[in-house]
A and B are shown apart, each in its own frame.
Chain A
């Protein structure tokens, strides 16, 4: 029995269990902060270097497709300009009606800019470590977006100067969402690779490829109207209670280097 407790494997397990206990009480927070502060600058620079190297190699591999992509983008640009002029008109009309009805302006969001320092170390989870924490005003479960109101994820772990962000593509992430065109509600989950799964879509509703998915604001965790992605494939079966679709996120998580945290 005495030899059993002398074995390094038992010692290792004991140390890990003690640390799990300490972490659950929040007593490792300062240690984590000191560690991130020590390694942070190196990680930040290395991460930036990796991003640049990655985009350079992507560029080299996509030179042949650039011409076609340019033509597509020009076409999309024209369509968007047309939509923009219609939206400007609608916005003016909206403003006028608000004034007439005496309604308040929607509240402006207060944002904190953060830089991504590193990614999660496991293939089983998708996380970012960012350089903003409690002392910068970040709160637990704060929502993280990127330019253009695109949903990135949620703060799940926080220390004085750093935060861990669970991405929407993480297998354990859950976001209440709806299809913008039809207001059909469902649940967005992290899927394989960088795809999302849109689950719990009612069987009697028509879901089309290319439709836009945004946060619904149900459950009050995520604010409504944040852009998530576009439906890329419908996996529907009459046997199941609900429909399931695949969603391509609008955020390219591979090229992201800065995000905003909603205060």
Chain B
């Protein structure tokens, strides 16, 4: 029962996240860069739970984002899944503990990797695709994501880190 409830909460949380990402968050934009709430939520999930357990939530969140992104369909989900998998691998093999500074470092690396993947995969999926993301936008988004990561870390620790 508790497990079903947690799955339900994760689905609802991601859905609310996608809605916030497309309605409220664009208004926080600075120089065309706004925080990526879904990426941070997914990374927090991957850090606290394994990719193996959370892959369905990551694919679902990516596909929901794809519906709203305007980018070639599948690009966001492919980037999100790849980044989540890489971060999970890095977390399990290099850092074994869940600590704030490790999580923040992983969120920072993932934000950079996500934007690079969007550019590379975008070109592979559509030859005419041009990503207008400048270095400045990537840096501002990184800063935003780190702040979001800090805010969500402790909340997630209470909700997700059950034994």
Contact = CB atoms under 8 A, between A and B. Distances in A.
Interface of A: 8-9, 11-13, 15-17, 19-20, 23-24, 28, 32, 35-36, 39, 42-43, 46-47, 50-51, 53-54, 118-127, 129, 156-157, 164, 166, 170-172, 190-194, 254
Contact of B76 (A13, A54, A121, A190): A121
Nearest to B88: A9
A119 B131 contact: no
B8 interface: no
A234 to B, nearest CB: 20
A46 B23 contact: yes
A42 B20 CA distance: 10
A24 B74 CA distance: 10
B34 interface: yes
Contact of B63 (A16, A24, A172, A194): A16
Interface stretch (B54-62, B95-103, B148-156): B54-62
Contacts of B132: 124-125, 170-172, 190-192
A43 B22 contact: yes
B30 to A, nearest CB: 9
Given A123-B137, A170-B132, A171-B131, A118 B74 contact: no
Nearest to B77: A16
Contacts of A9: 51, 55, 81, 85
Contact of A46 (B24, B52, B119, B129): B24
Given A120-B68, A124-B131, A129-B68, 10 more contacts: A8-B55, A12-B55, A47-B23, A120-B69, A123-B36, A123-B133, A123-B137, A171-B130, A171-B132, A191-B132
Contacts of B115: 123-124
A170 B70 contact: yes
Interface residues of B, number: 53
Nearest to B133: A124
B135 to A, nearest CB: 10
A16 B79 CA distance: 11
Interface string B92-122: 0000000000000000000000010011001
9 contacts: A32-B67, A46-B23, A120-B69, A121-B69, A123-B115, A170-B132, A171-B133, A172-B130, A192-B137
Contacts of B21: 121
A146 to B, nearest CB: 18
A129 B24 contact: no
B22 A129 contact: yes
A257 to B, nearest CB: 12
Contacts of B146: none
A16 B128 CA distance: 21
Contacts of A164: 70
